[in-house]
């Protein structure tokens, strides 16, 4: 069995048998920011292009070369997709062709890469099994994939790995990469120390800090929350923070508050949803989160599942919805 992001192309179907699809992807031409952007296939002529050997992308370029003989490309079995993206990012090659999900996952690490255009239509990724007459393994795989689609597991995984893409974008990824190098080292020891004390993943705690303040210790919002972890005065006092602008104290308070929010959730909320709900409560408040869960239930959604409640939270900023809630207006879209 192969579960390796394989696209079920016609050529491959002659060699192996594919499962039901689990992800739709689009092949994309990637170039480096600052370079001339290719807009169609003829712009690939004269460019230094590299793709994975034996990939569907190599098949595509071979077909394209029949129409545009000037297209030259190298196939390599000594690199992975991330290597190709890095090589474009660093200017070692002009272009590569990879699937859209790979771009989505790696744009935060390679901030110079850009999508030039989609090369062809979307296709499906599937698992593969050896050719033959025995369908037992393939049937088991299909049953499993159908199950995780139906129970929401597959959608949760997609949200986990690709949900950040539309929010972050290329500019956000570039800024984040800079802040990782310039700001995080100043506070990393505090994130690790207090996260360990409160039994929280330090990377999660650091991510909360970044979301709240971009790791800036002296910021103050219009609503009066302050500091690196953006604590209210009441929350700071409850968590034992005397100076919200002291980054060490702020991180300590944020760690305690995040753990507290998680502990206060209903026992019916299980992981990984429990962590997502805790993050939402940290940001918007437990009262507004409860409002969103109740609205979700009224809409026939599961109030214990993050993907369902996530759809409802933005409604808390709309009068026709928040007027029906106990705690009223909230910027739930954040």
Catalytic center residues: 212
Nearest to 311 by CA among 300, 296, 298, 325: 296
Q: Are 254 and 302 in contact (CB under 8 A)?
A: no
Residues 213, 282: Cα–Cα separation, whole Å: 14
Tokens of 273: 């949803």
Tokens of 84: 């190709």
247-263 and 273-284 helices cross at what angle (nearest 10)? 120
Residues 60, 50: Cα–Cα separation, whole Å: 13
Tokens of 243: 């100076």
Tokens of 212: 């709240």
Residue with tokens 């300590």: 252
Residue with tokens 């709309």: 318
140: left (phi over 0), alpha (psi -120 to 50) or beta: alpha
Nearest to 287 by CA among 259, 252, 328: 328
Residues 298, 303: Cα–Cα separation, whole Å: 9
Bridge partners of 114? 31
Nearest to 49 by CA among 25, 29, 63, 78: 29
**Alpha-carbon distance values, 254 to 235, 251, 269 (Å):** 9, 5, 22
């Amino acid at each position: 069995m192969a579960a390796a992001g394989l696209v079920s192309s016609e050529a491959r179907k002659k060699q192996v048998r594919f499962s039901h699809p689990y992800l739709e992807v689009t092949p994309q031409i990637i170039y480096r920011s600052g370079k001339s952007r290719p807009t169609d296939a003829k712009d690939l002529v004269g460019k230094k292009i590299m793709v994975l050997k034996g990939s569907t992308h190599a098949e595509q370029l071979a077909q394209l070369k029949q129409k545009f003989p000037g297209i030259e490309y190298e196939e390599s079995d000594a690199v992975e997709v991330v290597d190709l993206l890095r090589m474009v990012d660093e200017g070692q090659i002009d272009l590569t062709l990879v699937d859209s999900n790979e771009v989505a996952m790696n744009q935060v690490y390679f901030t110079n890469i850009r999508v030039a255009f989609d090369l062809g239509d979307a296709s499906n990724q599937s698992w593969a099994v050896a050719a033959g007459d025995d369908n037992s393994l393939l049937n088991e795989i299909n049953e499993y994939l159908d199950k995780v689609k139906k129970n929401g597991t597959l959608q949760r995984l997609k949200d986990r790995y690709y949900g950040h893409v539309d929010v972050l974008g290329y500019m956000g990824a570039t800024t984040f990469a800079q802040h990782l190098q310039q700001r995080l080292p100043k506070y990393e020891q505090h994130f690790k120390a207090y996260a360990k004390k409160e039994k929280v993943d330090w990377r999660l705690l650091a991510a909360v800090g970044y979301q709240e303040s971009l790791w800036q210790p002296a910021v103050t919002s219009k609503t009066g929350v302050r500091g690196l972890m953006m604590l209210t005065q009441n929350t700071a006092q409850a968590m034992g923070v005397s100076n919200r602008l002291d980054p060490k104290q702020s991180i300590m308070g944020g760690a305690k508050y995040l753990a507290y929010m998680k502990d206060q959730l209903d026992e019916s909320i299980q992981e990984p949803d429990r962590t997502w709900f805790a993050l939402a409560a940290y940001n918007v408040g437990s009262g507004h989160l409860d409002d969103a869960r109740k609205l979700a239930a009224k809409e026939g959604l599961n109030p214990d599942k993050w993907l369902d409640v996530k759809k409802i939270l933005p409604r808390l900023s709309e009068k026709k919805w928040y007027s029906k809630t106990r705690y009223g207006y909230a910027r739930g879209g954040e």
